[in-house]
Every structure is written in C-alpha cells, then in structure tokens.
C-alpha cells in the first residue's frame, strides 16, 4: 500500500538521522527533515526529496515553529523520529570524566538530549488528535550507554540516554488509547560522526572485538530498525527499547 503518512526526522543532517531520512524516503513517506545544521541538512533534503526545516530542539519555541511549518507544508506529523543529540568529549578528544564535566556542559547535554526530546514529545502530543488512528509512531534514540554506563561516553550522556527509556514508557502509556506507539532504539557502536569524534579508525580492531558480532554497526542498520518500528509490522510494540548493537549489550 502506498505510504500516505507524514514523517518528521529530526537530527537528519548526519549519521543515523540522515540514514533514516534516506530509508523513509525510499519507503514512500511524505518526508520532512530537520536539524540545526542547515548546510548539511540541505544536502540530505536534495538527496531524498524531503522538505527541510531548521530547528534547535533545545529551544522550546523553535520546536513549536517546526511543527507548525511541517504541518503547513505537508500536513500533521504522524511519524516523529528524533535522532538529534550530542555526546560531549574531553577537549582534544577522549572520554570526559565526571569531575571534569563543567556545569555548562551538563546543562547543554540535558537541554538537547533530554529537554529537546521532551519538547518534541509534548508538541507531538498536543497535535495527536490530528493523527489518523493507527498511523501514529514516535521513535526516540537511547543508547547502550544508558544501561551499560558509557564506556566511551561521559556520565552526563549516559544519564541523558537513560531518561529517554523512561520517557518512551510514560509517553507510550499516555498515547496508547489513540493507538500511537512510542519506542526507542538503543544503538551500540555505530559508525557516524558522533562515534568518530571519540574513536580513531586505528582503534577499530579493538572496538570490533568488544562486539560479539565482531564489528561496529552502520547507520543504515539503525535506520532499518527505525523503519520497522514506524511500519504496520510494529503496531503492537510500544514502550519498548530495541537494542540494536551486535550483542555489545544483552539484557
Ligand atoms: N553513533 C553511535 O555510536 C551512537 C550510539 C548510541 C546512540 N546514538 C544515538 O543516536 C542518535 C544519532 O546519533 P549519530 O551518531 O547519528 O550522531 P551525529 O552526531 O552524526 O548526528 C546528530 C545530529 O543531531 C543534530 N543536532 C544536535 N543538536 C541539535 C539540536 N540542538 N537541534 C537540532 N539538531 C541537533 C546534529 O546537527 C547532527 O546532525 C543520537 O541520539 C545518539 O545519542 C549513537
């Protein structure tokens, strides 16, 4: 059946978000892509034929403006995917220890990774009655760091990703009467600019050994999981965290 739903992918300028935009475009969605990096986003929009919108998800008003603009251009957002986040590193690279994490960095990570996801979730919820029954999907991005502790990432990052797993459970319960599902994907190590900020290709052999399937994952593999979650096939899955990590973390 041809896809009639409007999908909004936030964080679509890079990595997993860009791969998700390419995949959802191939799946025939009426696609909107958003990011704060407008130059990179323009490339993804050209490639996918999506409508591009600027957003800073740390800014509540910017999130409202985004939903208004997408709705005016394409119609109500049925499918929301948020991949936008940051993972702070030590200046010059390397894992940022708790004692060295400044108040500004803690606030910035929480503003983007947690409050950003909440502003998007609230804006989606406010407009949920415009989504046709059975069409609605929300997919957020957690991380294996949420349950493993960040072996390569800062404590503030794992904290923010743990919050996403709680967020999806609460929102899933609230939106279930409307048959809207809410889930998150928890990637392990995925070859994107975010991972590469802390992992030199010279360390790949060691990183690969830490993964039972023997390799770092790809952004396309994350997009496959997201595409499934937003499809009809996943209509009975909600409030869940889908671990897509090559066995890096098993629970
Ligand atoms: N790459 C990995 O190994 C990995 C592992 C676990 C979880 N994740 C999660 O997957 C998601 C995608 O990560 P990625 O590796 O593709 O990262 P990435 O850095 O390649 O892409 C993140 C995108 O988010 C955008 N962004 C950041 N802050 C924003 C803001 N305030 N407003 C709007 N856009 C903003 C960036 O411009 C960028 O385009 C993130 O939530 C990340 O935490 C990634």
Query: Ligand 1 mean position to 124 CA, how many Å?
Result: 20
Atom of ligand 1 nearest to the CA of 37: 37
Atom of ligand 1 nearest to the CA of 222: 10
pLDDT value, residue 1: 60
Pocket test for ligand 1, best of 9, 10, 11, 116 (most atoms within 8 A of CB): 11
190 touches ligand 1 (CB under 6 Å): yes
Q: pLDDT band for position 183 (50/70/90)?
A: very high
Portion of the chain with pLDDT greater than 70, in percent: 100
* Mean pLDDT across 189-211: 94
Length of the chain: 251
| Tokens 């600027």, located at residue | 54
Q: Which residues are catalytic?
A: 157
Fold annotation for 6-244: Rossmann fold (3.40.50)
| Mean pLDDT, all residues of the chain | 97
* Mean pLDDT across 26-40: 98
pLDDT value, residue 105: 98
* Mean pLDDT across 19-34: 98
Q: pLDDT band for position 128 (50/70/90)?
A: very high
> What is the per-residue pLDDT across 49-94, written as a single tens digit (0 to 9) for each?
999 999 999 999 999 999 999 999 999 999 999 999 999 999 888 8
Q: What's the pTM? A: 0.98
pLDDT value, residue 92: 83
> What is the per-residue pLDDT across 90-107, written as a single tens digit (0 to 9) for each?
988 889 999 999 999 999
Query: Ligand 1 mean position to 34 CA, how many Å?
Result: 12
* Residue 25 neighbours by CB under 8 Å, 6+ apart: 31, 48, 49, 50
């Amino acid at each position: 059946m041809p896809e009639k739903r409007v999908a909004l992918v936030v964080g679509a300028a890079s990595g997993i978000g860009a791969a998700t935009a390419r995949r959802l475009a191939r799946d025939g969605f009426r696609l909107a892509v958003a990011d704060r990096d407008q130059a990179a986003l323009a490339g993804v929009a050209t490639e996918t034929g999506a409508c591009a919108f600027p957003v800073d998800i740390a800014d509540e008003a910017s999130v409202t403006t985004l939903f208004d603009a997408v709705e005016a251009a394409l119609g109500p957002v049925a499918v929301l995917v948020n991949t936008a986040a940051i993972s702070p590193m030590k200046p010059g690279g390397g894992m940022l220890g708790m004692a060295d994490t400044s108040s500004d960095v803690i606030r910035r990570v929480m503003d983007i990774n947690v409050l950003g996801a909440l502003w998007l979730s609230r804006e989606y919820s406010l407009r949920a009655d415009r989504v046709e029954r059975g069409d609605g999907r929300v997919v957020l991005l957690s991380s294996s760091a949420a349950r493993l502790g960040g072996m390569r990432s800062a404590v503030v990052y794992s904290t923010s990703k743990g919050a996403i797993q709680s967020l999806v459970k609460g929102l899933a319960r609230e939106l279930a009467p409307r048959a809207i599902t809410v889930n998150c994907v928890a990637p392990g190590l995925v070859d994107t600019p975010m991972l590469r900020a802390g992992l030199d290709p010279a360390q790949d052999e060691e990183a690969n050994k830490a993964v039972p399937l023997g390799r770092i994952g790809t952004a396309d593999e994350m997009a496959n999981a997201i595409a499934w979650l937003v499809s009809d096939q996943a209509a009975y899955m909600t409030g869940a965290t889908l671990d897509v990590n090559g066995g890096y973390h098993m629970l």
